[in-house]
Amino acid sequence: MPRLNIRHDLDDDFELISEQPAPSRKRKKRNDHSLLGEIAQHVGLENLGTEEAFNPSLGASRWEREWIFNFLGSLYDTGYILDVMRRIKGGKEANVYLCQAHPSLKMELLAAKLYRPRMVRNLRNDIRYRANRVVLDEYGKVVHDGRMLHAVRKGTTYGKELSHTSWLQHEYKTLQILYDAGLPVPEPVTSSDNTILMEYIGDIDHPAPNLTEITLTRQQARQVFDTLLHAVEVMLSLGKIHADLSAYNVLYWNGRSTIIDFPQAISPDENREAWDIFRRDVQRICDYFLRYGIHPNPYRLAHSIWMKHRGDPEMPVINETDETDG
């Protein structure tokens, strides 16, 4: 049965129910998926002459469903997902949803990281990580347009939208680089407006826990510690520093550790605070593994890795650019 085209297939009665203008002010035009979802809750898809429509099965508030329709509906339209099953993680910056993948993909389940709207995120908290970053557009390409860059520097509404898009695209691009290098990160699938779609770690009933939620054996702890330190070193050799690495951002599933959450990842070629940020990442990982009897010297460890790939950490080399993300 064909998918329903809401703008052509619904009769006037349904259009009046969902798009009747409010008498006091002009209403914002609602997303097609949102309109159809609201109608389907009352009459059922079969009564609309279709069985194929984006109608997420997760239980959610009206506001959250609207948010999902607006930003995940395009992933349904383009054949990446069939359903949004439930929210598996909530945070100040983004929510992560478990999605049923389209049969054409190699994965049965996917994770959709849906960023919160820019107006509820405090971009000031990102300044340390955005320093000297290039601005990326919605396609992950470096922005060279002077007017767009001026808007970012001035912090206009449009400039903040560009910074928000750039923040998301930096995470997606970092995931691509690290996954292609064989590092333990989720496989990125695609990005769209406000969303990163990636490999899901876990099973249908249980998302993978992070390291703070489990207890490892000493042998497992040593394996995970060695894996993380190797990943940190390879990342640095690729010009990437996680910048928020801790046990909270490492998942563990079936003996496999996976590093997540890279929006704040920085380049040592761009950020003047790279050495301090890198040292903090190593310190946090070392601090966590003390409970398992692993006692490295965090400073010496960080210093030896940095010296191997970057030289003297007290004399950073920064490539200055005017095309920065804030």
The dihedral region occupied by 79, where left means phi > 0, alpha psi between -120 and 50, and beta the remainder, is left
Residue 89 contacts by C-beta under 8 Å, 6 or more apart in sequence? 95, 96, 207
* Residue owning tokens 């339209």: 77
Q: Is the pTM of this model over 0.85?
A: no
Q: From CA 232, how far away is CA 230, in angstroms rounded?
A: 5
* Residue 185: DSSP 8-state: S
CATH classification of 211-309, choosing from 1.10.510.10, 3.40.50.2300, 3.40.630.30, 3.90.1150.10?
1.10.510.10
How many CB atoms lie under 10 A from the CB of residue 81? Answer: 26
Instruction: Name the residue type at position 136.
Output: L
The confidence score (pLDDT) of residue 128 equals 84
The ranges assigned to domains in the chain are 1-55, 211-309
Instruction: Name the residue type at position 121.
Output: R
Q: Which of 278, 190, 188, 196 shows the shortest CA–CA distance to 235?
A: 278
Residue 277 contacts by C-beta under 8 Å, 6 or more apart in sequence? 128, 241, 243, 266, 271
The confidence score (pLDDT) of residue 54 equals 87
The dihedral region occupied by 182, where left means phi > 0, alpha psi between -120 and 50, and beta the remainder, is left
pLDDT per residue rounded down to tens, the chain (326 residues): 444 443 344 333 333 333 444 444 444 445 555 444 554 454 444 444 445 678 899 988 888 888 899 999 999 999 999 999 999 998 878 999 999 999 999 899 999 999 986 544 555 567 888 888 898 988 889 999 999 999 988 888 888 888 888 889 999 999 999 999 999 999 999 998 899 999 999 999 999 999 999 999 999 999 999 999 999 999 999 999 999 999 999 999 999 999 999 999 999 999 999 999 999 999 999 999 999 999 999 999 999 999 999 988 875 555 544 445 55
* Residue 243: DSSP 8-state: S
